[in-house]
Amino acid sequence: MDAKNKKEIYKEFGISDPSEFFEDQDDKEQLRQEMLARITASRHAHMQSANKKGISKKLMMSMAAAISFILLSAGILFYYNSHFKANDFVIVKVPMGKTQLVTLPDGSTVWLNAASTLKYPKKFGAKRIVYLEDGEGFFNVVHNEKVPFIVESSSLKTFVLGTSFIVKSYKSLSTASVSVVTGKVAVSDHQKQISVLIPNQEVVYNKVTRKPKTLTTKAVEKTEWNNGKVNLNGVYFEEAVLAVENAYGVKIDYDKEIFKNCQNTFNINAKQSLEETLDLIAMIQGITYKIKEKEVLITGNGCN
């Protein structure tokens, strides 16, 4: 994407400073460390200068104490700022086998899938930023051109003004994705690559290769898990297994290397028992399974 097209996209989404869109917590921490290093270096330089000028040892010690006090105060201030900021957030954790509807401070809603964690501020400011720390969420965002809405996950950052979309970012999966139901969204990874999606488009991001792929999809079908239905279309085995774990609240053990190239298409309905769903997978994939309480062992020949 050339600079002209990027500029037009930024303008459309109301991004006045592109650096804000790609703001990263690691960058902030690096900046803090650099500032502390500069202060420490400045202290050392002042001490050397004072020594050359023949300033008394007592005065030098007083200067060192004063500088140390400033550094200590800065550290304490940073700690308390971080502490109070943490207290200004709400953290929602959804257990396996459950889903949960969350209403955000601006009236926007998020359906969280099983085994998901969402963090958001008690009150939005100049930006509406929420953090999908793990899992999957179906976002329905209240339109506000003056206050952009941003979803940050481990691999992707999604920027909207008002729309509905799904962000899937489970830590256990090798891919992350964003699918658009209505409106338009801008998506980036942490390397400042940007994509713009319209309804029934999704971007699938490979965490290993760091390469995105844009696909056509039936996005609304991807939201039906909040009604007890999971539609899996050509997904890799790891994603199919995760869907079963989340739907039934079980832990599945299998050889990831053997099954890594297997792709499956099937549906899960809340009315089906775990055994019925596993029988369906067995028929499609040729697996065998054993159930012991809340644990399932899957074996088979996998795929070449």
| Relative orientation angle of helices 237-248 and 274-285, to the nearest 10 degrees | 170
Q: Are residues 101 and 196 in the same domain?
A: yes
Residue where one domain finishes, among candidates 161, 190, 220: 220
- 99 and 112 in contact (C-beta within 8 Å)? yes
* DSSP secondary structure letters along 47-99: HHHHHHTT--HHHHHHHHHHHHHHHHHHHHHHHHHHHHHHHTEEEEEEPTT--
Nearest of 46, 42, 123 to residue 87 by alpha carbon? 123
Q: Is the pTM of this model over 0.85?
A: no
Name the band, by pLDDT with cuts 50, 70 and 90, for residue 84.
very low
> Is residue 28 one of the residues assigned to a domain?
yes
- My answer on whether 96 and 197 are in the same domain is yes
In 89-122, which positions are buried (b, 16+ CB within 10 angstroms) versus exposed (e)?
eeeeebebeebbebebeeebebbbbbbbbbbbbe
Domain assignment present for 192? yes
Instruction: Give tens-digit pLDDT for 257-295.
Output: 999 999 989 999 888 999 999 999 999 999 999 999 999
- Given a contact cutoff of 8 angstroms between Cβ atoms, the answer to whether 128 and 120 are in contact is no
87-144: per-residue pLDDT in tens? 699 999 999 989 999 999 999 999 999 999 999 999 998 889 999 999 999 999 999 9
pLDDT in tens, 194-232: 789 999 999 999 999 999 999 999 999 999 998 888 999
Number of domains in the chain: 3
Kindly give, in sequence order, each residue whose CB lies less than 8 Å from that of residue 256, ignoring residues fewer than 6 positions away. 238
